[in-house]
Structure 1
Amino acid sequence: MKLPNLVIAGVVKAGTTSLYSYLSLHPDICCSTVKETCYFSYHRYGEWDPWYNDSKDPFEQYQNYFCHCEDQKYVMEATPGYFEGEMKVAQTIKNVLGDHVKIIIILREPVSRLISFFKYKKSRLELDKELSLVEYLQQCEALTPQERVKKENDKYWGIEGGFYANYLEDWLNVFGESVYISFFDELQNNPKLFLSKICAWLEIDNTVWESQDLTVENKSLNYKNKYLQELALWLNLKAERFWRANPGIKRSLRNFYYNLNNMPYQEEIKQQTFNYLQSLYQPYNQKLAAQLLAVNYTDLPQWLRF
Structure 2
Amino acid sequence: MALPDVLVIGAPKAGTTALHSGLARHPRLFMSPVKEPKFFLTDGPPPTRGGPGDAQTYREHVWRRADYEALFDGAPPGALCGESTPFYLHDLEAQLRIRRLIPDVRLIAVLRDPVERAHSNWAHLWSAGLEPIGDVVEACAAEEQRVRAGWAAFWRYTGLGRYGEQLQHLFKLFPREQVLLLRYREVRDTPRATLDRICAFLGVETGLISTIPAENVTRHVSDSPANRALQVLLRGGASLGRYMPEAVRQTARRPFLSLLQRDPRLRRPPAPEQRERLLPYFEDDIALFQELTGWDCADWLKVG
Task: Compare 166-175 and 273-282 and name the one that shifted more.
Answer: 273-282
CA shift, 1:104, in A, is: 0.6
Aligned pair 1:63/2:66, yes or no? no
Partner of 1:253: none
Q: Which one of 69, 83, 86 corresponds to residue 80 of structure 1?
A: 86
Partner of 2:207: 207
Partner of 2:60: 51
TM-score by length of 2: 0.75
Q: Which one of 115, 125, 128 corresponds to residue 129 of structure 2?
A: 125
CA shift, 1:43, in A, is: 4.8
Aligned with 1:68: secondary structure?
coil
Aligned with 1:82: secondary structure?
coil
The answer to whether the Cα contact below 8 Å between 1:41 and 1:85 also exists between their aligned partners in 2 is: yes
Partner of 1:284: 285
Matched letter for residue 179 of structure 1: V
Aligned pair 1:216/2:214, yes or no? yes
Partner of 2:19: 19
Partner of 2:137: 134
The answer to whether the Cα contact below 8 Å between 1:2 and 1:63 also exists between their aligned partners in 2 is: yes
Partner of 2:265: 264
Aligned with 2:88: secondary structure?
helix
CA shift, 1:95, in A, is: 1.9
Matched letter for residue 195 of structure 2: L
Change (3 A) 1:51 1:28: same
Partner of 2:161: 162
Whole-angstrom distance in 2 between the partners of 1:122 and 1:167: 26
Instruction: State the identity %.
Output: 21
Whole-angstrom distance in 2 between the partners of 1:289 and 1:268: 24
The answer to whether the Cα contact below 8 Å between 2:23 and 2:29 also exists between their aligned partners in 1 is: yes
The answer to whether the Cα contact below 8 Å between 2:126 and 2:221 also exists between their aligned partners in 1 is: no
Aligned pair 1:179/2:179, yes or no? yes
The answer to whether the Cα contact below 8 Å between 2:30 and 2:80 also exists between their aligned partners in 1 is: yes
Partner of 2:252: none
Aligned pair 1:90/2:95, yes or no? yes
The answer to whether the Cα contact below 8 Å between 2:217 and 2:266 also exists between their aligned partners in 1 is: no
Task: Compare 198-207 and 43-52 and name the one that shifted more.
Answer: 43-52
Matched letter for residue 89 of structure 1: A
CA shift, 1:60, in A, is: 0.9
The answer to whether the Cα contact below 8 Å between 1:45 and 1:151 also exists between their aligned partners in 2 is: no
Change (3 A) 1:28 1:223: farther
Whole-angstrom distance in 2 between the partners of 1:163 and 1:31: 27
The answer to whether the Cα contact below 8 Å between 1:32 and 1:65 also exists between their aligned partners in 2 is: yes
Whole-angstrom distance in 2 between the partners of 1:81 and 1:274: 23
Whole-angstrom distance in 2 between the partners of 1:305 and 1:269: 14
The answer to whether the Cα contact below 8 Å between 1:127 and 1:155 also exists between their aligned partners in 2 is: no
Partner of 1:273: 274
Whole-angstrom distance in 2 between the partners of 1:170 and 1:8: 17
Partner of 1:303: 299
CA shift, 1:155, in A, is: 4.8
Q: Which one of 80, 89, 99 corresponds to residue 103 of structure 2?
A: 99
The answer to whether the Cα contact below 8 Å between 1:4 and 1:77 also exists between their aligned partners in 2 is: yes
CA shift, 1:33, in A, is: 1.4
Whole-angstrom distance in 2 between the partners of 1:135 and 1:304: 21
Whole-angstrom distance in 2 between the partners of 1:149 and 1:206: 46
Whole-angstrom distance in 2 between the partners of 1:3 and 1:73: 12
Aligned with 2:281: secondary structure?
helix
Whole-angstrom distance in 2 between the partners of 1:219 and 1:113: 13
Change (3 A) 1:140 1:263: farther
CA shift, 1:28, in A, is: 0.5
TM-score by length of 1: 0.75
Whole-angstrom distance in 1 between the partners of 2:160 and 2:86: 11
Which 5+ residue runs of structure 2 have no aligned equivalent?
49-57, 248-257
CA shift, 1:153, in A, is: 4.5
Whole-angstrom distance in 1 between the partners of 2:40 and 2:124: 23
Aligned with 1:180: secondary structure?
strand
Which 5+ residue runs of structure 1 have no aligned equivalent?
240-256
